[in-house]
Structure 1
């Protein structure tokens, strides 16, 4: 029997950022990964403090940006690589009214450090009304992040590539197979719906598609272009364009309507030929109030859930991983806006 402080179930952003908190604090753990392609692993990796439809920001945006950069610096110390890509978002304006709204909002206290007042004209795309730069925005090298962290964890025998079987947990003596644990943290995304301990948490699947395209005229590599969706270069001379949002078509197949939406969206501002080389999709776990769901099971005091990261999985997963760690290890209460008890008062 092997003793561990933590078992983590799941292998997306919530899992890996929480694992980082354990590494920092010298806690022993194993992660159970069934090696399915999670929403995290097919995500765009956008790090963005601004809601670009309305030019607004969100709760703790500045704190999350600062904490993420600090965390990625810490991760670099043991993986040997920093996965932050300095490629700020440039939002293409539809018309003069959007330009005026951007300038007006840029004077607000909560947006003054995010909305750049100097507009830019982008080469190679249609942007008759120029574009606005989102300061402090960036991207995560998603593939590099997961490969780098998984390699580190495998080398330390902290990844177990098998499906987690809930019925095998012995809740009385805190064992699972050949592990004796102090805590279990479930970071399963939409897989939580199969979890008998937390299946009733109110996460809603939001299906997102993106396309991998070959552009016949290349664009600048040091920016991320946004109009309806995000466009940016990948490492293999292709580009990412996406993603869509759909709460209705929840089957496990590619939606032709989503591909058509993406194709038409790209044609709106990219006036050159392109080929679609791949279509991917994932199911984001979203919550009605747009806050993560974090907390302890009411009857099993050493079981926890970390879920509902939504479209801001990187920022939410990174920032609130420390909130969960401090809650478990130091007894620091969770903020009411993220706590599980807001849905299930204990």
Structure 2
């Protein structure tokens, strides 16, 4: 029987960033991947410290940005690549009132480092009232990130490409099939609803669609443009545009209404023809209070959950993987804001 310190179940941002913490600290582990693309793996990869609808920020935004950039440099040491794309977000203003609100908010202490006071005009799109640049924003090369880390893990025989079988877990003996583990962490996103150990955690699916389009007139700059959704360049002359938010139509196929919403949204500011080449969707695990859910099982002290990353999967997954690691290894207390016990009566 093979002995490992950890079993990670789930291959999205939560599982992969937790794997990074284990690599850093020389812990033995395996990670289970079903082989189908998770919501993380089809995500936009936007790294954004600002809520661009209201021009506000969120809990620990600066700490999360800083920690992510450091972590990506650490990951580069063993994958050979840095997957950070330095392409800041430019938010298209709808009118002069939004410009004034942006400038007013930029004076706030928690936003002064994020909202650039100098407006820009972007060629090739409709932005009559210019755009505001979000400082410290960027993108993750999502495909490269997952491919690079999975390749690294596979070479070390740490990637198990099969569906995890809950019925094979013997928590009392710390055994799963032929694996003897110290701790097991479930990082499954919406897959947690099938997990008999943590199916009660209050995560709700938020379905997001995005399209990959061919623009008839390419944009001159490698930036991320935001109006209703995000537009940015990909490889092979394609562009990403998305994503939508839908808590109602949760079936597992493409929604025509979402495609129409994206088509209309892009046409609002891109004045030329474009062709949809690909459509993707995923289910984000969201929590009512917009904070992740981290904690230990109420009966099995060797079982943990890491879920509810929502639309900020990269930042939440990276930052709170360290919080979870310190909780498991060093008995550091979990912040009340993310502890799963906040939902237990």
TM-score normalised per structure 1: 0.99
Deviation at 1:301, TM superposition (A): 0.4
Q: Distance in 2 between matches of 1:170 and 1:125?
A: 58
Deviation at 1:89, TM superposition (A): 0.1
TM-score normalised per structure 2: 0.99
Which runs of at least 4 in structure 1 moved beyond 2 Å after TM superposition? Answer: none
Partner of 1:22: 22
Q: Distance in 1 between matches of 2:222 and 2:253?
A: 33
Partner of 2:9: 9
1:119-138 correspondence runs (5 A): 119-138=119-138
Contact persistence 1:45–1:140 (CA under 8 A)? yes
Contact persistence 1:221–1:233 (CA under 8 A)? no
Q: Distance in 2 between matches of 1:24 and 1:254?
A: 39
Count, aligned residues: 345
Partner of 1:225: 225
SS class of match (2:214): strand
Q: Distance in 2 between matches of 1:344 and 1:180?
A: 30
Contact persistence 1:203–1:308 (CA under 8 A)? yes
Q: Distance in 2 between matches of 1:35 and 1:91?
A: 35
Contact persistence 1:7–1:183 (CA under 8 A)? yes
Partner of 1:81: 81
- For structure 1, the 5+ residue unaligned runs are none
- For structure 2, the 5+ residue unaligned runs are none
Contact persistence 2:171–2:302 (CA under 8 A)? no
Matched, 1:59 2:70: no
Partner of 1:265: 265
Contact persistence 1:221–1:232 (CA under 8 A)? no
Deviation at 1:138, TM superposition (A): 0.1
1:286-301 correspondence runs (5 A): 286-301=286-301
When the two chains are superposed, the root-mean-square deviation of aligned CA atoms in Å is: 0.5
Deviation at 1:271, TM superposition (A): 0.2
SS class of match (1:150): helix
Q: Distance in 2 between matches of 1:219 and 1:63?
A: 32
Contact persistence 2:231–2:240 (CA under 8 A)? yes
Contact persistence 1:123–1:219 (CA under 8 A)? yes
